[in-house]
Structure 1
Amino acid sequence: MATTLTWLGHAAFRMDTETGTRVYVDPFLNGNPKCPDAEREPERCDLVIVTHGHGDHVGDAVAISKRFECPVVAQVELRDWLSTNEGLPEDSRQSPNKGGTVSFAGVRVTLTDANHSSSTWHNGAILYTGESTGVVLRQEGGPTVYFAGDTNVFGDMALIKRIYAPDVAVLPIGDHYTMGPDEAAVAAELVGASRVVPSHYGTFPLLTGTPDALRPLLSAGVELLAPAPGETLTL
């Protein structure tokens, strides 16, 4: 069985591992105008990962976790906030910080740096929810996948290449709230993955970056995989 990756629109992805573990990353499904109707209600889930506290990334994480009784991994302040305010069970195993690695259902989850903000609206006020992160997912015998989360390009992406050597990099390209194609091309070079999957684009008018703008900027030998919402890639 191969690892597959399904884009659910915006920055939401479903990954199915070599052993059948199903992982949702930033599961913004309901309210996401690009999420196919057939994907709004997951059939099953073994693990949820949230990169930061903005609503278009937390999305349906709590509802999915409660429905399938599966863990939600997020940076420690965000994970604690989800416990305190959204009813998730407290579990320090699910709340690492940057550089930390936790393992669930055969998947090793490592939080990395990302340059972005992380907050939520609560009772009419903006609340801090820790720091934004990227995430590296590793599994025995399968590809290593790096989700950059919401970020601009930064030089320490070279350390992600050096330490984790990802096979696939999921990079935001929409511009305005994250990096656009110009920076994403440099990020791809720094991370060194042979395959790049664009994300966080095409959802709203402000997000103007496109895969077509990114493609000619990528280094020779880097494959751009740009699925349609709901399309599944075999990694």
Structure 2
Amino acid sequence: MKWTQLPLGPLQTNAYVLQNDANEAIIVDPGGDGTAFIEWIKSQSLKPLAILLTHAHFDHIGAVDDVRDEFACPVYIHHQEKDWLSDANKNGSARFMGEQAISIRPADYIIDKEQTLTIGPFSFSVFETPGHSPGSVSYYVEDEVIVFSGDALFAQSIGRTDLPGGNHKQLLDSIHQKLLELPEETIVACGHGPTTTVASEMDGNPFLTGF
């Protein structure tokens, strides 16, 4: 398998595309630029099987309906944010985007607990990692040693917690108890900016080490 990082939308949110040798694909957080993103998917001859959302903030969901409609693939979201997709106040787009506020259709599948999620040949361990938002989840692919962390953990930083539903202590607990418990070589595919590793963040993230 291989994966690709594609910054999309107004905040250049990282979408990720995980694909196998049969060109089947899973899409994580298609945040915007729907037309261009769809053209890229077609140029790679990919067959999307699902859209996984780490959380429902506007900059992570902007191209969801475009991609879902084009490829007839279902959308997954945590139950605590299932009603955020259609609510511009909850997903933040009313505040940050004004007249371009985002409202999309409900998700097709609701994640209600930590679990192993199997979609076709792909398998993910779903970790609840709230703090940045109450329904934030991370998707860990053990065979590829990569975790798609959304806005929980960044390279040398952590997610903001000043938005509705954010909780700083909860976020730190999520990072320490879930993400930093993964093998140190695990790639952390962040929602913004470059990827990092669990080892790098354990050793040098000033928000986690205290210096």
Equivalent residue number for residue 98 of structure 2 = none
Tell me how large the CA RMSD over aligned residues is. 3.8
Give the one of 181, 190, 193 matched to 2:181: 190
Q: Does 2:135 align with 1:131?
A: yes
Query: What is the 5 A alignment of 1:81-96?
Result: 82=85, 86-88=104-106, 91=108, 94-96=109-111
Query: How far apart, in 1, do the equivalents of 2:122 and 2:195 lie?
Result: 29
The structural deviation recorded for 1:114 is 1.2
Equivalent residue number for residue 100 of structure 1 = 115
Q: Deviations over 1:10-33 (max 9, x none)?
A: 3311111254321111111329xx
- The number of residues matched between the two structures is 164
The structural deviation recorded for 1:51 is 0.8
TM-score (norm 1): 0.54
Query: How far apart, in 2, do the equivalents of 1:12 and 1:73 lie?
Result: 15
Query: What is the 5 A alignment of 1:151-190?
Result: 151=152, 171-173=153-155, 175=157, 177-178=159-160, 190=181
| Structure whose residues are more often helix by fraction | 2
Change beyond 3 A, Cα 1:79–1:20: farther
Q: Deviations over 1:140-182 (max 9, x none)?
A: xx4253212221xxxxxxxxxxxxxxxxxxx522637359xxx
Structure 1 SS opposite 2:68: helix
TM-score (norm 2): 0.59
Query: What is the 5 A alignment of 1:58-77?
Result: 58-77=61-80
Equivalent residue number for residue 28 of structure 2 = 25
Change beyond 3 A, Cα 1:19–1:193: farther
Equivalent residue number for residue 146 of structure 1 = 147
Give the number of the structure with larger relative contact order, counting CA–CA contacts within 8 Å between residues 6 or more apart.
1
Contact 2:147 2:188 in 1 (8 A): no
Query: What is the 5 A alignment of 1:110-129?
Result: 110-118=125-133
Structure 1 stretches of 5 or more lacking a match? 32-36, 119-129, 152-170, 203-209, 220-235
Equivalent residue number for residue 2 of structure 2 = 4
Structure 2 stretches of 5 or more lacking a match? 8-12, 88-102, 162-171, 204-211
Query: How far apart, in 2, do the equivalents of 1:69 and 1:198 lie?
Result: 25
Structure 2 SS opposite 1:86: coil
Change beyond 3 A, Cα 1:83–1:66: farther
Contact 2:77 2:111 in 1 (8 A): yes
Query: How far apart, in 1, do the equivalents of 2:116 and 2:55 lie?
Result: 17
The structural deviation recorded for 1:52 is 0.6
| Structure whose residues are more often strand by fraction | 2
Change beyond 3 A, Cα 1:30–1:189: same
Change beyond 3 A, Cα 1:80–1:107: farther
What amino acid sits opposite 2:105 in the alignment? G
Change beyond 3 A, Cα 1:149–1:216: closer
